[in-house]
Structure 1
Amino acid sequence: MARAKSEWAAKVLALVKAGNVPAAIAQIKVAPTVGDVEHLQALLAALPASAAMKQLHQVVEEERALLAAPRLHRSP
């Protein structure tokens, strides 16, 4: 069964819109894929700028870079 591509991003966006930025940041830190993070990044770009949004954009960009980078070691 295929999962909707925007399911995770939409849920995190709902947290942001509800004002629960710490929960959104926690979810971003455990993002499933780089594609999900990029989709969230596109959704966040449509929201009005604020100090909290600036912080979220920074966290999203950091997580996107971490997920996109090649892994040096993987556990068995």
Structure 2
Amino acid sequence: MAPTSTWRDKILALLRSGNAAAAIAQIKVAPSVRDLRALEKALAAPALKGKWPGVDAAVTENLQALSAPRLHRSP
């Protein structure tokens, strides 16, 4: 069984505390596409959908960047 990542929960905590700039900075250095997808899914919840447009854009941009094979960051 794969270990669960708390990265998504940490980003959501930053957003709920009102620190969207820090959340966007963390999204730009996301550990993996899997973590970004988990955050994207959490942000799609009815209570959070569209609440932070800048964060939504950062998630989309970084998903595209990390999904391109030549742009993957080395571990």
Q: TM-score range by the shorter chain?
A: 0.7 to 0.9
Structure 1, gaps ≥5 residues long = none
Structure 2, gaps ≥5 residues long = none
Change (3 A) 1:71 1:61: same
Deviation at 1:72, TM superposition (A): 6.1
User: Sequence identity, in percent?
Assistant: 49
Question: What's the TM-score once normalised by structure 2's chain length?
Answer: 0.82
Deviations 1:8-54 (A, max 9, x none): 0111011011110010001000000001001001111120534xx11
Question: Quick one: which amino acid aligns to residue 16 of structure 1?
Answer: L
Q: How many residues align structurally?
A: 71
Question: What's the TM-score once normalised by structure 1's chain length?
Answer: 0.81
Please tell me whether residue 69 in structure 1 is matched to residue 43 in structure 2.
no
Structure number with greater Rg is 1
Structure 1 consecutive aligned stretches of length 4 or more whose deviation exceeds 4 Å: 72-75
